[in-house]
Amino acid sequence: MNCPHWGDTDVRESERDCPRCGQECGYPNVRKAGELAEVAALAVRYRAARQGAVDRAAEAEFDCYEKVVASSQIVMSRHEKAVLQLLESDNALWVSFYQQTGAGMRRPEDTEIEGDRGVADSRLFPGYREMICFAVLSVNGFGPPYYGRTSLTFDEALLSHRASVFEENSVNLLRRSNFRLAPGFRTQWNFRGKLAATKAAPRILPGLADKDFEALLMTPDVNAPDPDFVEVHVFGFLHHTAISRIQFWPLRDKKDQPFRTRIREICEDRKIEVKE
């Protein structure tokens, strides 16, 4: 793209700032999601998905689900100890997996999916994968417990401008496409309802009620080892001041109870809502 401030200067896909004037040109992931090819391809998929709902007399349910997800929130699942570390210090930041491993803060897992994650992220975020933090869309404040039994809801006003939305776990979708992704599976924040409804359309049937929407958006099985969800990609780090609510899944290991107690104490002091 050309710099919106100096039209004759090329700003590369991975760059947030213009190399000439240094002014911000938008977050790379958000710009990518808003490209004409992405928007047009999703529009084609959306029209077909909605027409399918009309054909099976589920038009009202389709529209209702889209509306509900259009009000969904950014939620991240983490283990209690990691959440406590983020909350305890004003200096603490949650950064991407690549920044953590690059700084020697954590070890990459010795698994096949870890290797595929690197390939997928390089495809999706060429030149800036180290700037992306992952979360999910949620309509009830809970994230997948597979990644941690503490769910953090972030203030939309503080993250939505740097967030893009992806149809599902990006590694899974990239694997199925042999790591060559067609356009139409990601979008900007304000169109998350359309993307989610397009994805869920085959499962949207006549008589579906609001109470069924949570299971459409995220795998309802709390023990699922590979949960399905709509993924959110947030550019940059996360700070505890961006957290609006914390929710706990039922306690599985008693050794985590002291962490939860301390989290509640800190949240009370920081005026962060805690919901069981």
- Which tens digit of pLDDT belongs to each residue from 57-66? 999 999 999 9
Contact 74, 154 (CB under 8 A): yes
Contact 106, 98 (CB under 8 A): no
Give me the DSSP letters along 11-79.
--TT-SB-TTT--B---HHHHHHTSHHHHHHHHHHHHHHHHHHHHTT-HHHHHHHHHHHTT-EEEEEE-
Q: Which residues in the chain land under pLDDT 70?
A: none
Give the pLDDT confidence score for residue 168 in this predicted structure.
97
- Which tens digit of pLDDT belongs to each residue from 176-204? 999 999 999 999 999 999 999 999 999 99
Model-level pTM?
Answer: 0.96
Neighbours of 101 (CB within 10 A): 14
Domain positions in the chain are: 28-275
The DSSP 8-state label assigned to residue 232 in this structure reads E
Residue 246 burial (10 A CB sphere; 0-12, 13-18, 19+): buried
36-55 and 59-69 are packed helices; what angle lies between their axes, rounded to 10 degrees? 140
Give the pLDDT confidence score for residue 223 in this predicted structure.
79
